[in-house]
Structure 1
């Protein structure tokens, strides 16, 4: 007989509770998919809190309950599952809608810290040829929006908001249509910023009267840092790109470390919504 049976029970119950909370969190995240931006750790903590709520209810509502009694276990595990599903549903519901945007209104309003125009994505308008530097500029802008507060990149419009269309970019593709262009964009971003980051932007095509068609990438804030890996003399380089006013720039190592520590600093709001901390965190 142990000298302190309650401590022994607690020592046995704790890893079981942690394992159960992790399993519930994993299943819920799989069920909600991309609609849920809460991290696995956050969901596991919520699930663990649900177990505590169930134990509290068992102690308050039922006389003479012990830890391993069926009623106690059912309340604990049931509360864990219920609270996790509720939290996931709320987080998915209140998540900002990074879907279609009013492209015409953006073109009229002009560029800002949340909006940028690119005349082409592949075609160098000065040298009249396909240029990898144009592709890299697209990836840098997307990475910067993801690493900041989000934003919209419009491809097919000049800096002053005049629609130029996608014809020159489409002409560089084997199959010159919008589906192929979107596939190329996803592949480009997957190569330069990673598959997870490449899946975040919402891509839409907008036909603007007789002016032509543009492509808009609506980029949400990324839940974690996005690094751009690009070829450079001497080997590939990995940089952190951010928005500074209306411009996009790479941060040095010291600046990047400081930016990441401030921008993704855990707060109550970021744990609940799964988003980076807001501007009040000292960015």
Structure 2
């Protein structure tokens, strides 16, 4: 099978002793050179498909390129089945490969968006009327002690440990600005302690609190939304907390002191003692306590190295 680059290489002024005038394995050379070309075509097809479905789905460039590359292979295979062509980059072969790649990327983007789609939440007022449960907690305030009317760090600790407990359990909802009777009394006292009394500043306060007390990764997990208070002034805040993929430990004020593991037990938040915490983590996140292969090999080598270093005592 003739190749264009074979003739090109044959006319180059190459030293006969350095390289042969033509490749000894043109098919193998073609297979090597075609890889970056296929990758470029896959990248362009992926970008084009992402642009077509941008209003309905989002997909990263790397995912689009990899998916388009798979689509190219499928398209070439289909073209070889349908068309009688002598070489891979025939117009019909290339067209079928690109079309299949674009279709595959578009379908993949829609499927990913469907999987990642978050279901709509129930209205906050309806949630508040359900009352507290294993997966629902109502708090009147996140900063102000409602009995003294003053800011109280203990209220912030309650919010932090409740979120930690939901993260360490099956997830749940923390409703701030609602009392035990399910009334939405609002967060006006909390808003009054902020530089700018609005929802954006309140969310920044919560994220900062969780980052200090729970860690940066845990602080990014909860989802917040706000609604007007029907039985008071201002707004109420709903914190939707998913289960955490790793254990989340509560630190002391300003991130100092020891750490504690909090979980939900029924409709209450409880701290686990050390032995219970170890057992709970081992059951809930077994990968956290299972040593990695690298750690096992290191321990094995260290053990035998120490044994070899111990002098042998002659008992005779």
Instruction: Name the TM tier (shorter chain).
Output: 0.5 to 0.7
Deviation readout 1:191-241 (Å, 9 max, x if unpaired): 65538963761412232245874211334567x658578457995878887
Using the alignment, how far apart are the partners of 1:125 and 1:43 within structure 2? 53
Matched, 1:216 2:231: no
The corresponding residue for 2:223 is 201
The corresponding residue for 2:203 is 182
Using the alignment, how far apart are the partners of 1:147 and 1:21 within structure 2? 42
Using the alignment, how far apart are the partners of 2:157 and 2:246 within structure 1? 18
Deviation at 1:145? 4.9
Using the alignment, how far apart are the partners of 1:181 and 1:19 within structure 2? 47
Deviation at 1:136? 4.6
Deviation at 1:155? 0.4
TM-score by length of 2: 0.57
Cα 1:177–1:12 shift into 2, 3 Å = same
Deviation readout 1:150-171 (Å, 9 max, x if unpaired): 5332101234534443122122
SS in 1 for 2:285: helix
Larger radius of gyration: 2
Pairs aligned (count): 258
Using the alignment, how far apart are the partners of 1:167 and 1:194 within structure 2? 27
The corresponding residue for 2:112 is 91
Deviation at 1:59? 1.5
Aligned counterpart in structure 2 of residue 255 of structure 1, from 271, 281, 292:
281
Counterparts of residues 47-86 of structure 1 (less than 5 Å)? 47-64=68-85, 66-86=87-107
| 8 A contact 1:113–1:246 mirrored in 2 | yes
| 8 A contact 2:133–2:266 mirrored in 1 | yes
Cα 1:162–1:189 shift into 2, 3 Å = same
Using the alignment, how far apart are the partners of 1:11 and 1:147 within structure 2? 50
The corresponding residue for 2:190 is 169
Larger relative contact order (C-alpha < 8 A, sep ≥ 6)?
Answer: 1
| 8 A contact 1:152–1:217 mirrored in 2 | yes
CA RMSD of aligned residues (A): 4.9
Deviation at 1:242? 6.5
Using the alignment, how far apart are the partners of 1:243 and 1:194 within structure 2? 22
Cα 1:98–1:146 shift into 2, 3 Å = farther
Deviation at 1:184? 3.1
| 8 A contact 2:138–2:177 mirrored in 1 | yes
Aligned counterpart in structure 2 of residue 103 of structure 1, from 118, 124, 127:
124
Question: Which one has the bigger strand percentage?
Answer: 1
TM-score by length of 1: 0.63
